[in-house]
Each structure stands twice: as C-alpha cells, then as structure tokens.
Amino acid sequence: MLKATEVVPLRTTANKLGVFRFRLVLAMIASYLAMMSFLIYSARHTTQTADVAADFSPAMVALASCMAFSVILTGFFVFVRNRD
Amino acid sequence: MLLLLATAFTFSAGGSAHAAQPDAQIRQAELSTIVFFVVFAVLTLLISFWASRRATSSSEYLTAGSSISAGQNGLAIAGDYMSAGAFLGLSGAIYASGLDGMFLAATYLASWPIVLFLVAEPLRRLGKYSFADVLTHKLRERPVRILAGASTVVIVSFYLVAQMVGAGELISLLFGIGYGPAVIMVGLLMIVFSTLGGMRAATWVQIIKAILMIGGSAMIATLVLAKFGFSVSDLFKMATGNHPNGNKIMDIRGFSQDAIATLSLGVGILFGTAGLPHILMRFFTVSDERAARISVFYATCLIGLFFAMLFFIGYGSIAVLRGDATYANASGALFGGNNLAPIHLARAVGGSILAGFISAVAFATILAVVSGLLIAGASSAANDLVVGLSGRQLDERMRLRISRISASVLGVLGIVFGLACEGQNVAYLLALATAIAASANFPLLLLAIYWDGLTTRGAVVGGTLGLISSVVLTAMGPTIWSKVLGLGPAIFPYDSPALFTVPLTLFVCWIVSIAKAEPEGDWRLSQPAVAQYVE
C-alpha cells in the first residue's frame, strides 16, 4: 500500500449545466407533474357509469403519453449531442 | 427498484391468499421448470468461469475494463430494471388494483431522462469505480469517500437483504423447495458468480436475461391478445367484468388519495434512480460519454417496451385468471400470491413449457440483480471505505483482492440476514435504500458536477444530514412505524420523505458551503485515481 504523502492541489469544474440540458430537465419534470396532476384530478372527478369500459381510459392515455415523452426526450438529447 | 412499492402492495394484497393456497399445487415444481432452471444455472456458471479468466485486474473485475459496447450496456441497464420485482410485482399490482401499478412504471421511466441529462456523461468522464470518484475531483478525498462508501454499502445491504428474502420466497414457491435451501442456493450461486466473473459476467447474464425477459413477456402478451382476437376492447371488457372494482381498474385510485404523498414518492423515484450505486456503476463499463448516453437511450426504449407488455400481462391476468378456480380462490387472490400473476398467466395461455421458461427467467433475474448489487458494494467498499478509512490508495492487486473479499462478505451477510428475515415483509428496506439514494447520493452528485462553490464541509454535513433524515423519516412513516413496528399512528405522515429531504440536503450543502470557503491547498491522496479524467 502507498502512503498518502503527496499533496496535489486540484479543484476543477466538471461541467456546466447548459441551457439546453436545463430546459430538457424542466420539460421532463413539467411533463411528469402534468401527468400526475391530470391523474389525480381525473380520479377525483370520475363520472360513475354503469357501462363496461371497453377503450383506453384518459388516465391510461396520460400515462402512456408521459412514458412516450420520456423516450422521445432521451432520443432527442442523444441525437442533438451526437451531432455536436 | 421501484417496484418495492408494487411488490409490497401485492405481497400484502396476496398475504391472505398465500395462507389459504393449496400447498400441493404450488410446491410441486414441474419438469419443464426444473429443466430450464438447470440450463440457466449451468449457463451462468459457464459465463462466470469464462469471465474469471479475464478478471485479473480491478478495472476488469469491477468495470469489465470499460469495454462493454453501448448496445450491450443498454441491454444490461434494462436488465437491471427488469427485475423480479418489476416483472412479478408490477403485474401483481395491476392484477390486484388495475392502473395503479402502471403509475409506478411511468414514474420510473421518467427518471431515465433525468439520469441522462444530469449524471450519465459527467459520471463517465470523471469516474472510474464509484460515484465518489466524481465527488473527489474537487473535494477532500478521505471524508467524502467515507461518506459515499457508507451510504453505498448501506443502500446495497438493504437492497440485498430485501432481494434475498424475495428470492427465497419466490424460489421456494417456483421450485418446490424450502425457504432456507432456496436462500442458501441463490446466495452461494451469487457469491461464486460475483467473486469469479465480476462485472463482465454480471453484464452478460443481464444481457441474456433481458433478451429472454423481453421475449417471454412479448410471448405472453401476444398470446393474451390472441386469446381475445387481438381486440383490446374485448380484453378490457372481460377485465372490468371480472374485477370487483369494475371500471375503477381503468383509473389511478390508490395514488390519487394523497397528492403530497404521491408527489413525494415521485420525487424519490425520479431522483433516486440517479443515486443508486448499481445503476451508476453501469456507466463505468462503457468506453466514453457517447457510449454512455446511447446506452441510456437504448435502455429507456427497452424498459418502455417492457412496461408496455406488462400492461397487457396485468390486464390479461385479470381477464383470464380471475374467476378461474385453477389459479385463484373465490375472493380473486391468486394461489401463491398475486406476484405469481405472470407465471399463472403463462401457464393459462402457453401451457407448462412457457410457465417453466418464465419461472426460470425469474430465477435468472434474481441472480443477475443480486450479483450486480454485490459488485457495486464491493467496488465501493474497496475504493471508498477502505481508502477513506486507511488514508491510503490501494495498489492494483490489493484493490482486486479487497473487492473480491468484500463481495464474499456482503454475500454471506445477505444469506445470513435473508435467513433471519424469513416470513417478514422487508419491502421497506427497499424504500429506505431509494430514499437514501435520492436524499444523500443524488444531491451530492448534482452539486459536485454543476456547482463550483461546493465545499468538503458542505458536502459532508449535507450528505450526512440527507442520509440520517431519510432513514429517520422513512422509519417514522406509516409503513415502518405503524405496520412493521406497531408503534401506533405514524409520526411522519408519508412513506417516502424525498419531497422534503432532497431540498433539505441541497439547502444544507449550499448554506454550509457559502458559510466557509474551502481552504487553499486542497489535497488528494497519492496516486490520484481520477485526475486523468478531469477536463
């Protein structure tokens, strides 16, 4: 084992949170919050019906939209960064 | 990970069913199950022996020599999240209560863009063996490594024990053996696999498992849809007709009761993923930042696809299994617990061969996940805890030796605690692990990467507070305080404290850092491990 005798001044900045990155993070969080708000709102204001549900519900569409948005956003980020 | 809640939910929902199940039906392993199991066990051992020949250095053992391609790493990351908890827990959650289970899946998927935008690239550029490497590029090495090592070992230990208990229960049900032998068998395989093959073996098993898991899920989902003439409407009609909650299973119910609790859970999962050690380790196995970000994209696509198939498996199990006395009792609870929904469904639509295949994939899933956890824990123990506590950098041979010893010790502890926790609902350990990851690891990582003003004192005080507050508040929440410990009404009203502890950690790091600047002549231990990665 080596002794810890060497002293190396080292204080560097790893990266800056760029405007592009920052906007994408905000977009993702906003999308997630929108999905959650919609789900909570729709669950509290559901109209009771005797008909049997036979199609995708608005809540399912909201969940699927958020999931699709997550995939699209990662793809967009990778596409833009790989072109740099 | 996430699926802790789904798993907890379905375990509790299926608890009574478990007690009432006809044991003979559950505890007789079929020949197909045993054949697939033996094939997978032999295959994983062959992979570990193959990988052990190359694992002669610590970088090869812990990070596969950073030679994993973006596609392979994407599959391995996806494999990490297609855990038994995800596959069985989410399907069981949908079976029990409908769309609530999918809410966790959407939250989980939304965490991946956060990982990609904020941590994936800098982690690959600045780190080598653990996320503490990123912290030490600007902070004093010893205190930061001790803190990061402690939180990593705690997270890995909690995770490991919970996985071992789940594995023991699942394997004993699937293969008709006792809980104790099941835990010991999984544990021994895990130790042999991890200490011999290291990260390369764990990665290849994850890749194979991910392909098998996606293939198996696609097969079940297709057979379910075929049963209803590929009409989703007919599937939904049958499901809502079978379920006692009727149309309510098409909406979010459980998570809409308390907006703050749901938001706190969401914050925990969104940011916790970016602080989980075994996920962060994956970014060290690829060659560069480009490969890191492409691998996240592949993983996100695969996980999204997997969750889409779970949706049909979940609703398919309601439509096919509920009301069928072969699989469920009169109250609708599945024999063996609701977590076995996809395995029962595989038998119902594809026969015993498909059910045996899916059971064996579930076993391979457990083995792959616990092996990845062991390697993440071993890496942090060798590179963070030992280095931080001793104040000395390790040479190559010593690092490799300590990593392997750490993997073995953690594995043995996992077996011992797994045996000790038989019959207990330990899903709260996973909740604790996620809370620590979100509240202690993620804020430190974020500030270390993006804020010049972070000081060692700020990081240590903030990180320690994040660790302690997340553990204490989770312990005082409804699940642990009231249900596990039985101490009466919970002191803290939410199961996940992340909504409060993440901002608290960030604030404390900031206020302590601006209160006193970092002393000049900052130093690091000799043989800097990461300096060459700094821009």
Could you tell me the residue range of the domain that residue A26 belongs to?
19-45+57-83
C-alpha B129/C-alpha B409 separation (Å) is: 19
Tell whether A20 lies on the interface with B, counting CB pairs under 8 A: no
| Nearest alpha-carbon partner for A73 in B296, B101, B3 | B296
Q: What is the pLDDT of residues B227-275, one digit of tens each?
A: 999 999 999 999 999 998 888 888 887 777 788 888 898 899 889 988 9
In chain B, which residues have their Cβ closer than 8 Å to the Cβ of A24? 113, 117
Tokens describing residue A19: 């405007």
The residues spanned by each domain of chain B are 3-49+73-424
| Min Cα separation B8/chain A (Å) | 22
Q: Does residue B89 surpass a pLDDT of 70? A: yes
| Min Cα separation A23/chain B (Å) | 10
Tell whether A61 lies on the interface with B, counting CB pairs under 8 A: no
Tell whether A40 lies on the interface with B, counting CB pairs under 8 A: yes
pLDDT given at position B528: 42
Q: What is the pLDDT of residues B35-76, one digit of tens each?
A: 888 888 888 888 888 888 887 888 888 888 899 999 999 999
| Residue tagged 């009609």 (tokens) | B237
| Min Cα separation B40/chain A (Å) | 32
In chain B, which residues have their Cβ closer than 8 Å to the Cβ of A73? 113
| Nearest alpha-carbon partner for A33 in B308, B109, B498, B267 | B267
End-to-end CA distance of chain A: 43
Q: What is the DSSP string of B228-266?
A: TTT-HHHHHHHHHHHSTTGGGGGS--GGGS-HHHHHHHH
Tokens describing residue B183: 């835990």
Q: Does residue A77 surpass a pLDDT of 50? A: yes
Highest mean pLDDT among A1-10, A38-47, B155-164, B227-236: B227-236
Q: Which of residues 251-290 of B touch A (CB under 8 A)?
A: 251-253, 255-256, 259, 262-263, 266, 270, 290
Residue of A nearest to B525 (CA): A4
Query: What percent of chain B is predicted at pLDDT more than 90?
Result: 31
B256 vs A9, A39, A68: nearest CB: A39
Q: Are the CB atoms for B118 and B447 separated by under 8 Å?
A: no
For residue B68, what are the β-bridge partners?
B286
Tell whether B518 lies on the interface with A, counting CB pairs under 8 A: yes
| Min Cα separation B161/chain A (Å) | 31
Q: How many domains does chain A have?
A: 1
Q: What is the DSSP string of B381-448?
A: IIIIIIHHHHTSPPPHHHHHHHHHHHHHHHHHHHHHHHHHTTT---HHHHHHHHHHIIIIIHHHHHHH
| Maximum pairwise Cα distance, chain B | 73
Name which of B254-263, B435-444, B460-469, B494-503 the model is least confident about: B254-263
For an interface test with B, give the residue of A12, A29, A67 to mutate (most B CBs within 10 A): A67
Tell whether A77 lies on the interface with B, counting CB pairs under 8 A: yes
In chain B, which residues have their Cβ closer than 8 Å to the Cβ of A44? 256
Domain membership flag for residue A73: yes
Q: Are the CB atoms for B342 and B24 separated by under 8 Å?
A: no
Tokens describing residue B265: 């859970």
Tell whether B146 lies on the interface with A, counting CB pairs under 8 A: no
| Maximum pairwise Cα distance, chain A | 77
Domain membership flag for residue A3: no
CB pairs under 8 A between A and B: 189
Domain membership flag for residue A64: yes
In chain A, which residues have their Cβ closer than 8 Å to the Cβ of B256? 39-40, 43-44
C-alpha B403/C-alpha B397 separation (Å) is: 10
Q: Does residue B125 surpass a pLDDT of 90? A: no
End-to-end CA distance of chain B: 33
Q: What is the pLDDT of residues B331-351, one digit of tens each?
A: 888 887 888 889 899 999 998
pLDDT given at position B20: 39
C-alpha A40/C-alpha B93 separation (Å) is: 19
The model's confidence at residue B17, banded by pLDDT at 50, 70 and 90, is very low
Domain membership flag for residue A7: no
Q: Mean pLDDT throughout B421-430?
A: 72
Residue of A nearest to B391 (CA): A4
The model's confidence at residue A50, banded by pLDDT at 50, 70 and 90, is low
Q: What is the pLDDT of residues B520-533, one digit of tens each?
A: 655 555 444 443 33
Domain membership flag for residue A66: yes
C-alpha B58/C-alpha B60 separation (Å) is: 5
- Inter-chain CB proximity B523 and A73 less than 8 Å: no
Burial class (CB in 10 A: 0-12, 13-18, 19+), B118: buried
A28 vs B110, B137, B398: nearest CB: B110
pTM of the predicted model as reported, rounded to 2 decimal places: 0.85
C-alpha pair distances (Å), B109 with each of B17, B267, B295, B339: 31, 13, 15, 21
ipTM for the whole predicted complex goes beyond 0.85? no
pLDDT given at position B175: 75
A53 HSE (CA, 13 A, CB side): 24
pLDDT given at position B218: 95
HEC string of B11-73 equals: HHHHHHHHHHCCHHHHCCCCHHHHHHHHHHHHHHHHHHHHHHHHCCCHHHHHHHHHCECHHHH
C-alpha pair distances (Å), B460 with each of A81, B271, B457: 33, 19, 5
In CATH, the architecture of B3-49+73-424 is Up-down Bundle (1.20)
